[in-house]
Amino acid sequence: MQDAGPVAIVGAGIAGLTTALCLARQGFEAEIFEQADSLKEIGAGLQLSPNASRILIDLGLLPALEAVWSEPDSVALLDGRSLRTLASVPAGSYARKRWAAPYGVLHRTSLQKILLDAVAAEPHCRIHFGCRVESDAEAAIDRAMARPPSVIVGADGIWSRTRTSIPGAGAVQFSGNIAWRLMVQSSEATALLSEDRVTAFLGSNAHLVAYPIKEVGGFNLVAIVGGKAGGSVWVGKETEEGRRELATAFAGWHPKLRALLTSATAATYWPLCTVGDGAWHDGTRTILIGDAAHAMTPFAAQGAAMAIEDGRELALCLAESQDVPSAFARYDRARRSRIDRVRKRAAFNRFVYHARGPIRVGRDLVLALKTSESLAADLDWLYGYDAASAARLF
């Protein structure tokens, strides 16, 4: 777009910060409005698959990432009752070769800090802390900026305030699952967990994912179980009742895994909610990205990756379109099919991970027939995706 005004971004999470950097690389001025007074430690571990890491590498962030992340050699699926290995997908150097980008695991806070430092060093970016958008996002942003923005990007998460200004936007829905985040020190877990792999333990109506977090010298655990909705709660602290419910969900699992969950600390939980299909933009100047637009369950570990892809493709669509409405339409065409396919993969993984009875037996037989190479090939469409090339197809 010629002579485009500044772009306002609501939210300084992974989606907002990545979008600001991508816009800056295209010559846009980006101003980020964050309700918190500062960015504090939020969340725990994060998996960055190659489709996301290649975007961050293009932004010049690989050295900073390599200083804090680990690149596991594999992603393994194990039976939660017997600890028998069901399947393994190679990662590590194999991922760099096959998908031309690494597969890394790190603390979410570390990624956010890397992005924030990059934004602070970027002359085209400016961040405003302590700016809460309660309602009428467009009016609030217009008042806060010296020059009205040409685009307002709602990157303010699943409980987005910006979304209320988009007619026909999707609604938040509880998925029926609760995710527990826990941490365990390496000294307490190395007999069961490996520092060179991501491990997913599968069981009836529940699964547990574990991977190393180099920054804390331990493992991040994510236990996903069926549960009740907790209202507009993003994250909650553990209670004795909650811990008992978690233990009950894994009652039939291997004793070593149950002991691991009992000894794990820093437990928090969050209801897994999604944002249903709906409009992502108003056709004029306001658009939603990341969880604000299409929050999904974490069964494919792609929530952060989709937000990062969104930022890259939105920046390209704005840069290569004649005006904002055509850029939004182009972005919508580029992202709808991609998001839909990833959602379906997450739903499929939930079915596979939580299988029981004859379905579980059939799952194990199918996985036993698959080679590591064929399992990796099944992920080419996901991990080999190039957001820059995809945006230019539309």
Domains of the chain: 7-70+104-171+275-354+382-392 (3.50.50.60)
Q: How far is CA 245 from the centre of its chain?
A: 26
Query: Which residues neighbour 262 within 8 Å (Cβ) at sequence distance 6 or greater?
Result: 247
Reported as a single tens digit per residue, the pLDDT across 106-150 is: 999 999 999 999 999 999 999 999 888 777 777 888 888 888 899
Q: How far is CA 162 from the centre of its chain?
A: 20
The answer on pLDDT for 346 being more than 90 is yes
pLDDT of residue 230: 58
Largest interatomic CA distance in the chain: 64
Pair of tokens at residue 111: 């990624």
pTM above 0.85, yes or no: yes
At residue 309's C-alpha, the angle toward residues 307 and 311, to 5°, is 70
Reported as a single tens digit per residue, the pLDDT across 152-190 is: 999 999 999 999 999 999 999 999 999 999 999 988 887
DSSP designation for 59? T
pLDDT of residue 384: 97
In the Cβ-directed half-sphere of 237, how many Cα atoms lie within 13 Å? 1
